[in-house]
Amino acid sequence: MRARVARGKEAIDGRLDLHGLTQSEAHSALLHFLRNAIARDARLVLVITGKGRGGEPGVLRRHVPQWLGLPEFRALVIGFEDAHVSHGGEGALYVRVRRARGG
């Protein structure tokens, strides 16, 4: 996924920057953003967590991947991986969202 996006073969359908948010704010914002992405029929989104400071991963950098594994997020997400360096590298994630059900 990362290589396809970096080469422009796959578009990023939305971006969410979680910098400066508390864990609670970030959790709510991420859930809302992913639900809206599905409603907009987005396929791939970029979630910016930040890298952290002093060589240590930041709180959101550690928690967002854990949150994406929770039941409330698994219903929305197919998978995720670190973004290409041009999109933030380890400070961002490409998230593949599910298609809306029904029709």
| Class of domain 2-97 (CATH, top level) | alpha beta
Report the predicted TM-score, pTM, of the whole model to 2 decimal places: 0.89
Domain extents in the chain? 2-97
Q: What is the DSSP string of 39-83?
A: HTT--EEEEE----STTSPPHHHHHHHHHHTSHHHHTTEEEEEEP
pLDDT tens digits, 15-60 = 999 998 999 999 999 999 999 999 999 999 999 998 877 777 789 9
